[in-house]
Amino acid sequence: MTGRIWLIAGPTASGKSALALRLAEHAGAEIVNADSMQLYRDLPILSARPSPEDKARAPHHLFGTVDAADGWSVGRWLRAATEVICQIDARGRPAIVVGGTGLYFSALTKGLADIPAVPTEIRREVTTDYDRLGEAAFRERLAAHDPMSAERIEAGDRQRLIRAWAVYAATGKALSDWRETGKPTLAPGTWRGVALEPPRETLNARCDTRLRQMVEAGVLAEVAALAARDLAADLPALKAVGVREFIAHLRGETSLEAALDAAQRETRRYAKRQMTWMRGQMADWPRLDEIETDGQWRQFLALNPALTP
């Protein structure tokens, strides 16, 4: 791959999609999704997927292309994204990889490690430990040996918590350390990264506003349709922030306002985890601290003066 590749990372609701679209129009680039939830076609509203109008303004790839019943791994996304980026490069156009899934960017720039298989007996013991201790105590134990995984893994993600501890139990090495040993897919010098890091209070307010707008836009019907499929609870799409909270309302277990409040709270926590990841894994990436697109664009141009007319 010889063409220019931009990587734009940021927490949820930070404006990264709008910035990517503006850059794509300015540079004649194509956009590649690096958000694990925007992969799935079932949750266009809840995942804040680009609108048809946005897609008409610039080519978009890997948005809404996967059924919720088909859970994608990081490795599967990496293979698909690499193929798309190569195709864009063959067309002589720049590529913009944008999203909030830190592991996707890590896979591109650092590679995926060849983590040894965990013996069945160890995994069985770790699963028993999780059920005995409960999530909070289990996560606390994991944090003592693999703080990055404990911080990154979302609340309620039993499968990934068990996986992280099982890898440590089997190898004596943290899963997050294993991930540092891979070979990068993007060669040094072929890409430039930028991370959006707006003020926490401003970002939290935007998260809250956006969730309320999603409810007004029909997110409950979207979640209801997904729930009606009765898919396995451990599939990635079922773990999207807001799904559990809105399903609780749809089942009559809580009011809409309570469900919205819970979804807003979890979204703020998710944004915090994303920013923690960026600080730890993208410490050398330039930062944009504006949250509005015009301000972000000015900061981006200052970092990339060759783009200025």
One-letter amino acid for residue 113 of the chain: A
> Burial, 2: exposed, middle or buried (Cβ in 10 Å; 0-12, 13-18, 19+)?
exposed
Mark out the alpha helices in the chain (DSSP H runs).
Answer: 16-27, 52-57, 74-90, 102-110, 120-133, 135-145, 147-152, 158-171, 175-178, 200-216, 219-228, 243-250, 256-281, 293-303
pTM above 0.85, yes or no: no
**217, 54 in Cβ contact below 8 A?**
no
Q: Among all chains, which residue has been given the structure tokens 């451990």?
A: 234
Q: Tell me how crowded residue 61 is: count the other CB atoms within 10 A of its CB.
A: 18
C-alpha triplet 300, 196, 188: angle, nearest 5°:
70
* pLDDT-derived band at 241, boundaries 50, 70, 90: very high
What pLDDT was estimated at residue 170?
Answer: 86
* pLDDT-derived band at 116, boundaries 50, 70, 90: confident
| Domains annotated on the chain, with CATH | 5-112+182-307 (3.40.50.300), 120-180 (1.10.20.140)
What pLDDT was estimated at residue 2?
Answer: 53
* pLDDT-derived band at 267, boundaries 50, 70, 90: very high
* pLDDT-derived band at 308, boundaries 50, 70, 90: confident
Q: 8 in helix, strand or coil? A: strand
Give the residue from 270, 258, 308 showing the smallest Cα distance to 10: 270
One-letter amino acid for residue 11 of the chain: P
CA distances from 34 to 101, 106, 136 (A): 6, 11, 29
157 has pLDDT over 90: no
**176, 146 in Cβ contact below 8 A?**
yes
pLDDT tens profile 186-212: 988 999 999 999 999 999 999 999 999
